[in-house]
Structure 1
Amino acid sequence: MGERYDVTAGSVAHGGHVIARVPTGDTRDDGTPELRVVFVRHALPGERVTVEITEGTDGDRFWRGDAVEVLEASADRVEAPCPFSGPGACGGCDFQHVAVRAQRELKATVVREQLVRLAKLDADSPLVAGLVVEAVPGDENGLRWRTRQRYVGLPGGGKGMRKYRSHDVIPVDDCRIARTDARETASGDTRTISETVTAAGETHRFDLAADGFWQVHPGAPTALTEAVLAALDPKPGESVLDLYAGVGLFAAFLADRVGAEGRVVAIEGDPQASAYSLANVPGADVSAGDVATVLASSHPEAFDLVVLDPPREGARRPVVEAVAARTPRAVAYVACDPAALARDVAIFAEHGYTLTALRGFDLFPMTHHVECVALLTRTGSGL
């Protein structure tokens, strides 16, 4: 830690880094120096930068570091709009130094790389090569989008944010990605609040706990709901299984499409969120419990459509196989982690489901996070 190296930054990596390599001090059998991977924050692909090592020892496979000086800048580099961003500062944003347009391309590159490496998809296929990360209305050139925010309280009434991978706190007077009217949240705040969403010509109100999960970009609920509906194209009378259903965002709009003759089953692991969905989606069959456990003992019948909106670790094999066993004609997968999405796409492929459509959404500008909506269809289904 603390050592500095001048390096040329390589490709972007999942997690908001770029890859660089530095000598280990050892040599290979052919006499060339051995190199160690360093995951570097605050740099861009192709830049010449001075990297200071922030984590790592001689025996580690890789190190972490910060670009503390830019020797040759990328054309996509900009001055960070937030004064609390940068090496040794607030760890909330990864890409404050990157033009917003270029941030989206970096995120698309990461999604493509994960699908090729983990799902074994063809890098040159139109689905992969043509992926773009779409802007979503509701931010101001990547700023002022976060509708809910949590700070660290400081003595004297101040507030702060934590450093990257640290418990150390940086005092801040204003988080530039937070809306000026952002609601400050605290764990354990179970007051009921309401959110209204209009999508595909319909409007629904959703009650939820103040500390419960809700998308923080104001354009996210509409964008994701419309993407799911467009991908699945639900028909009147169809049956839908909504997994990791939260307070019923997708279930409510799907119920509109399948109508009174259709059926919506919503399963959610958080009992509190599941309780809210009972009121938010009247007529839905709502179950609270671990999704894999519920599917192992309930609802064994076939479903026409499935929505998956799992947490960051993805749905994983037991859930994917349970979904495939219900033989839906189509599955809409809402993913907040491209690596987890790619791993689950590979499992779906084992069971006859092909990735046939993919969209990316920039719901977290200035950070490395990206949301995807993927459509998987049953091979040979004719859809």
Structure 2
Amino acid sequence: MANTETQPPLTGEAGREVVLDVGPVAHGGHCVARHEGRVIFVRHGIPGEKVRVRLTDAEEKAKFWRADVVEVLEASPDRADHFWHLADSARAWSHGHPPVGGAEFGHITLARQRSLKAEVLAEQLRRLAGVDQLPADAGSVEAVGGTADGGDGLGWRTRAGFSVTPGGKLGMHAHRSTHIVPVREMPLASEAINNLRLWDIDLQGIERVEVAAPANGSRPLVLLAPGPGTKPKRLSAIAAQLPGEVSVATFDPATEAVQQLRGRTWVQESAAGHDYRVTGAGFWQIHRDAPGTLVGAVTEFLRGGGFLHPGAVVADLYAGAGLFTAVLADAVGETGSVLSVEGAAGTSRDARKSLHGAPQVEIVQGRVERVLRQKPRSFDALVLDPPRAGAGKAVVSQLVEASPRAIAYVSCDPASFARDVGYFRQAGWGLSGLRAFDLYPHTHHLETVALLAPLP
């Protein structure tokens, strides 16, 4: 849609404001707009709106620019009042600072958020994998937990990360910025996290704070990343400001090394009838209902295709603390076997502790492609849950060479997922099942579970 309002040409000066017509949604939490041949990625808008934006990244020679909406001139019927003032772009900029990240879809109704996410997933699969026809019943993003029954999409995070202002106040970064905005609430976080009231604590000497408050109500853990020169006495003083039932530890974001200050250095998570130990900042799904939802989708795909049954030989790759491993072990029984592979040493140790009573499980710490080469076997099925960057071409080739009957692929990023699906298709595999879940309401993120199998 052409923009007919008269305004000066764009010169590459960040901070300037222009009027734009918001185009289609794109991967990454923004929409595409164009002005005088220039592509501008706009955050906090909705397709079809006319908005005034503030340029945030606008180098003259850049291929595209970025901008935040500061005023809505013609609103979409799907626009809603933002639930969090600090993340409301127009309100934040009117107070002289950018909005905090992490709630970039909070101005959109939940139903439209999910439809936009479905559009992004379909576009990525079409463009990167050549998938023009999605599997049956795969065209929507499913609501999960409270959002499934008309909920508000708040309070679902059982884990949250925060920055710290130079003055020692809890804060969060603005998108693509070093600017830290002080916060006194985190509406997407669970009540257990907000009840810690970390914003009331003097955090001087700390650079980052990570919090885990398991959905099962077990003991929360607060991780403190100290700045250079922070002394033990200062760390003890910060720990003393937290409730006594909370575990407190320091951690190094680079090495993930954890040191106890008080209580445990791990939390106990629960899902699908199992308990799991997760040390420090080790990976665990952040939505309270995500573990059960994903386990259910994976096992439904594999059981429905006849790939998961007593006596089956399966593998859980990028296994983390063993969420899928434990459930796979239940399904194959003592006559089957589960190879569980995780690259992070600490997380792999957690899986060993959680699954020591399952003789059919072999836990190996190492790179997926190396372990598969060292331990060749005839697999009935593989479960693949890689980090956001995806598996990549080399790993996909290794998986195809292993010749499993099927692969259940769990992904939190539609772009890397679609790229990998393209690699599978080039190797003669097809996408035979796909479900998408809104595990991150009010953000642009989504989770997918796919079933891949060799084409006949």
TM-score by length of structure 1 reads 0.91
Cα deviation, residue 59, structure 1: 1.2
Aligned-partner residue type, residue 196 of structure 1? S
d(CA) in 2 for partners of 1:228 and 1:208?
Answer: 21
3-state DSSP of counterpart to 1:142: coil
CA contact (8 A) 2:433 2:452 kept: yes
> Structure 1 residue 14 and structure 2 residue 24: aligned?
no
- Select which of 381, 405, 411 maps to 1:335: 411
Name 1:32's counterpart in structure 2.
Answer: none
Aligned-partner residue type, residue 106 of structure 1? L
Deviation string 1:58-98 (CA, Å, 9 cap, x unpaired) is 21110001111111000100010111113312112110100
The answer to which of 62-71 and 135-144 deviates more is 135-144
CA contact (8 A) 1:138 1:219 kept: no
> Structure 1 residue 104 and structure 2 residue 178: aligned?
no
Aligned-partner residue type, residue 223 of structure 1? T
Cα deviation, residue 185, structure 1: 3.8
Name 2:158's counterpart in structure 1.
Answer: 147
CA contact (8 A) 1:303 1:328 kept: yes
- Select which of 291, 309, 331 maps to 1:257: 331
- Select which of 94, 100, 113 maps to 2:104: 94
d(CA) in 2 for partners of 1:311 and 1:156?
Answer: 34
Cα deviation, residue 156, structure 1: 6.5
CA contact (8 A) 1:144 1:178 kept: yes
Deviation string 1:277-317 (CA, Å, 9 cap, x unpaired) is 1122232111111222323x312222110010001110011
The answer to which of 326-335 and 139-148 deviates more is 139-148
Q: Which residues of structure 1 form unaligned runs of 5+?
A: 24-34
d(CA) in 1 for partners of 2:411 and 2:352?
Answer: 24
- Indicate the percent of aligned positions where both proteins have the same amino acid: 43
> Structure 1 residue 212 and structure 2 residue 286: aligned?
no
Cα–Cα, structure 1 residues 375 and 80, in superposed 2: closer, same or farther, change >3 Å?
A: same
Aligned-partner residue type, residue 64 of structure 2? F
d(CA) in 1 for partners of 2:137 and 2:287?
Answer: 27
- Select which of 157, 176, 179 maps to 2:187: 176
- Select which of 57, 69, 72 maps to 1:70: 72
Aligned-partner residue type, residue 91 of structure 1? G
d(CA) in 2 for partners of 1:309 and 1:370?
Answer: 14
> Structure 1 residue 353 and structure 2 residue 355: aligned?
no
- Aligned residues: CA RMSD: 1.6
Name 2:58's counterpart in structure 1.
Answer: 56
d(CA) in 1 for partners of 2:286 and 2:335?
Answer: 34
CA contact (8 A) 2:165 2:181 kept: no
The answer to which of 135-144 and 10-19 deviates more is 135-144
Name 2:368's counterpart in structure 1.
Answer: 291
Aligned-partner residue type, residue 179 of structure 1? S
Name 1:29's counterpart in structure 2.
Answer: none
CA contact (8 A) 2:348 2:365 kept: yes
Cα deviation, residue 138, structure 1: 4.8
Cα–Cα, structure 1 residues 41 and 128, in superposed 2: closer, same or farther, change >3 Å?
A: farther
d(CA) in 1 for partners of 2:224 and 2:291?
Answer: 22
CA contact (8 A) 1:242 1:250 kept: yes
Name 1:344's counterpart in structure 2.
Answer: 420
The answer to which of 204-213 and 107-116 deviates more is 204-213
Name 2:379's counterpart in structure 1.
Answer: 303
Cα deviation, residue 327, structure 1: 1.2
Cα–Cα, structure 1 residues 58 and 308, in superposed 2: closer, same or farther, change >3 Å?
A: same
> Structure 1 residue 131 and structure 2 residue 146: aligned?
no
Cα deviation, residue 170, structure 1: 0.7
> Structure 1 residue 247 and structure 2 residue 318: aligned?
no
CA contact (8 A) 1:306 1:330 kept: yes
Cα–Cα, structure 1 residues 128 and 337, in superposed 2: closer, same or farther, change >3 Å?
A: farther
Cα deviation, residue 211, structure 1: 1.7
d(CA) in 2 for partners of 1:84 and 1:347?
Answer: 41
3-state DSSP of counterpart to 1:368: coil
Aligned-partner residue type, residue 286 of structure 2? V
CA contact (8 A) 2:18 2:53 kept: yes
